[in-house]
Amino acid sequence: MPHDLADKVQKILETIPISFRGPGGAVAVLKDGELVAEKVWGYANLSTRTPITAETLMPICSITKQMTCALLHDLENNTPPEVAANGTFQEQMEIQLKEWLPASLTGSSGLTIRHLCDMQSGLRDYWAVSMICGAKPDQPFTIEGDGMKMISKFKTFHFQPGSEFSYSNVNFFVLARLIERITKQPLPKLLKERIFRPRNMTTAKLIPDTAKHPGDCLGYEGNEEYGFLPATNRIEWSGDAGVTASLNDMIAYEKDFDQRWKSKGQYYKTASATTYKDGNPASYSYGMGHLKIGGDDGVDTVGHAGALRGWRMQRRYVVKERMSVIVLFNSENLNPSKAISLIVKGALDLPEPPSTPAVEPVESWFGDFLDEDTQLNISVSKGDEGQIVVVYARDKENIRLVTPTQAKNDGNVASIEGDTLKIHRVNENRHLVAKRVQPEVLTDGSRLQGSYKCAELESTFVVEGRDNMLYGAFDGPLGQGPANLMKRLGENVWAWNCPRALDHTPPGDWTIVFTEKEGVISGVTIGCWLARRLEFVKV
């Protein structure tokens, strides 16, 4: 490994702590499967002043998904004899999928195991749906009790399998449970024997209970201004997340990953980017996202982020340059994606995109718009010079204007014409056509009070309040949820605030669209980007 590259990368890593201020962190960079540089700093526990080291165990959360897929791949190619006696592993997974999920999801939908691996199933995310099934953000959530209960409620898709992308943890919850059913082995044991041990990940474990993480590292809520507080987690997850690992474990993982990707063997072919059923390219495959760093002329990468209350992490592999970057933060308000982008751009001397003259937006961009198909609200506001800010999938997205009525970034192509907003969500393979929500208000909102029942989820939405100050709460299979504030966007279009969730950052505001027939409120459509179009009838 050239010393100049190692020195250059180490200098970049030395800037990460001050650029991402928080309790602590751990980062590493590998090139051609060999460690180039690493940096650990800060505290695993602020109260005891226990330092973070390369051996400190942290939950890597959704990075687990690619390991679940790697396990599936290994079982398909190295099936235990007692399991192989019943047919190929792939065939058994497809059979179990049809037997395990409700018939309404498997009958004629064409749903396959591969749809689950690629986030193309059309199944709604169970962590999101839990919030409208009566869950409180800090309550326990068990796999055998609550997880199975949630799966049993799912009867419909929010799009047809194979047609789009939508992030859904339930895909990997199902994959893991089917693997356990077929092998008759618990997932932690299978991962240890088939993934961690062969890769020399000596301290990595799958720990389903987030309240029982090994080691002495804490995750933190809060920030430097208001202070850092230890995060409390009480959920169980296994397959969609659950692995705890040290920086050294992740370095070992990256060494193995580099060899598998470099060889272009069976795993590489299986996990490479795929397509939707219409032939359009898909950006998520086999538990990993495929994206560019550095814009259209940047570098192709493959990897995944992970998040839990108090934790943020990400691993990413730069394909052509064979460079791996690992970032682990024990603070939920730090952004590992930005850290990785900074490291990759600096290490590879990626140029900044050429500057172009700023375009002024027309005023018709700004406001709230309701997508006709998903019934989700899209908010558009003015951003930095030459940009608009769109909020659809929880986070703010900056989109650069190319003309006063057209805007584009890596994942969106948007246009405005009068009161109609169109956005092509490129990576999701979805076209949004949204009409402006007229802000005029004719009533005080009191007529919306009452209870609304969702037959599919067996959940009740309770609306109380008046004078345009309404509160919404959900009573359902997971209990009686807290009352949260509602915000009026238009006459019958509201947003239900969801500031906290069971797993980590909440799905964002839910769109609440009340149905009116002959002047009488008869129902409501409720959804967010992770769980769209759930129908509730007034009772």
pLDDT in tens, 135-189: 999 999 999 999 999 999 999 999 999 999 999 999 999 999 999 999 999 999 9
Residues 447 and 436: their CA atoms lie apart, in Å, by: 23
| 136 assigned to active site | no
Angle at 145 between CA 143 and CA 151, to 5 degrees: 75
> What is the dihedral angle through the alpha carbons of 60, 63, 68, 71, rounded to the nearest 10 degrees?
-90
**Token digits of residue 291:** 């994206």
Least confident among 245-259, 439-453, 518-532? 439-453
Q: Which pLDDT does position 1 carry in this prediction?
A: 52
What Rg value do the Cα atoms of the chain yield, rounded?
24
H-helix segments, 349-475: none
In this prediction, residues 281-288 reach a mean pLDDT of 97
Contact partners, residue 478, CB within 8 Å, separation at least 6: 130, 133, 134, 135, 139, 141, 146, 149, 150
In this prediction, residues 344-354 reach a mean pLDDT of 92
Kindly tell me if the per-residue pLDDT of 507 is higher than 60: yes
Q: Looking at the domain 363-436, which fold is it?
A: Lipocalin (2.40.128)
Question: In which band, very low, low, confident or very high, does the pLDDT at 226 lie, cut at 50, 70 and 90?
Answer: very high
Tell me which of 443 and 122 has the higher pLDDT.
122
Contact partners, residue 246, CB within 8 Å, separation at least 6: 54, 55, 56, 57, 58, 203, 204
DSSP string, 361-378: PPGGG-EEEEETTT--EE
| 65 assigned to active site | yes
Contacts 24+ apart (CB under 8 A), 437-440: 437/367, 437/368, 437/369, 437/370, 437/377, 437/489, 437/490, 437/493, 438/490, 438/491, 439/367, 439/368, 439/489, 439/490, 440/490, 440/491
> What is the dihedral angle through the alpha carbons of 120, 125, 126, 129, rounded to the nearest 10 degrees?
-140
Q: Please answer whether residues 508 and 394 qualify as being in contact, where contact means their C-beta atoms are separated by less than 8 angstroms.
A: yes
Question: In which band, very low, low, confident or very high, does the pLDDT at 371 lie, cut at 50, 70 and 90?
Answer: very high
β-partners of residue 35 are 30
Kindly tell me if the per-residue pLDDT of 198 is higher than 60: yes
Angle at 20 between CA 385 and CA 426, to 5 degrees: 50
Kindly tell me if the per-residue pLDDT of 506 is higher than 80: no
Average predicted confidence (pLDDT) for the chain: 95
In this prediction, residues 253-267 reach a mean pLDDT of 97
Kindly tell me if the per-residue pLDDT of 201 is higher than 90: yes
In this prediction, residues 311-332 reach a mean pLDDT of 98
pLDDT in tens, 488-500: 999 899 999 998 8
Tell me, yes or no, if the two domains 363-436 and 446-538 fold the same way: yes
Of 305, 313, 326, the closest CA to residue 29 belongs to 326
Per residue, the 3-state secondary structure of 136-184, as one string, reads: CCCCCECHHHHHHHHHHHCCCCCCCCCCCCCCCCHHHHHHHHHHHHHHC
**Token digits of residue 130:** 């839990």
Strands (E), 330-455: 367-371, 377-382, 387-391, 396-403, 406-408, 412-417, 420-425, 430-436, 450-454
Residues 364 and 380: their CA atoms lie apart, in Å, by: 10
Residues 309 and 192: their CA atoms lie apart, in Å, by: 25
Q: Which of 39, 62, 130, 324 is catalytic?
A: 62
Q: What are phi and psi of 437, to 5 degrees?
A: -80, 115
Neighbour count for residue 296 (Cβ, 10 Å): 7
Of 165, 172, 421, 372, the closest CA to residue 273 belongs to 165
**Token digits of residue 147:** 């997880």
Neighbour count for residue 82 (Cβ, 10 Å): 9
Residues 211 and 218: their CA atoms lie apart, in Å, by: 11
Question: In which band, very low, low, confident or very high, does the pLDDT at 354 lie, cut at 50, 70 and 90?
Answer: confident
Q: Which pLDDT does position 83 carry in this prediction?
A: 97
Per residue, the 3-state secondary structure of 70-99, as one string, reads: HHHHHHHHCCCHHHHCCCCHHHHHHHHHHH
Eight-state DSSP code of residue 268: H
The CATH number of 446-538, from 1.20.210.10, 2.40.128.50, 1.10.760.10, 2.40.110.10, is 2.40.128.50
Residues 503 and 130: their CA atoms lie apart, in Å, by: 10
The domain spans of the chain are 1-122+157-348, 363-436, 446-538
Least confident among 201-210, 238-247, 345-354? 345-354
pLDDT in tens, 16-50: 999 999 999 999 999 999 999 999 999 999 999 99
In this prediction, residues 312-319 reach a mean pLDDT of 98
In this prediction, residues 425-451 reach a mean pLDDT of 93
Of 537, 455, 524, 539, the closest CA to residue 104 belongs to 455
Q: Which of 65, 130, 246, 331 is catalytic?
A: 65
Question: In which band, very low, low, confident or very high, does the pLDDT at 505 lie, cut at 50, 70 and 90?
Answer: confident
Q: What is the CATH number of domain 1-122+157-348?
A: 3.40.710.10
Residues counted in the chain: 539
pLDDT in tens, 249-258: 999 999 999 9
Least confident among 78-82, 479-483, 507-511? 507-511
Question: In which band, very low, low, confident or very high, does the pLDDT at 355 lie, cut at 50, 70 and 90?
Answer: confident
CA–centroid distance for 429 within its chain:
17
pLDDT in tens, 389-424: 999 988 899 999 999 999 999 899 999 999 999 999
Kindly tell me if the per-residue pLDDT of 297 is higher than 90: no
Kindly tell me if the per-residue pLDDT of 504 is higher than 90: no
In this prediction, residues 307-318 reach a mean pLDDT of 97
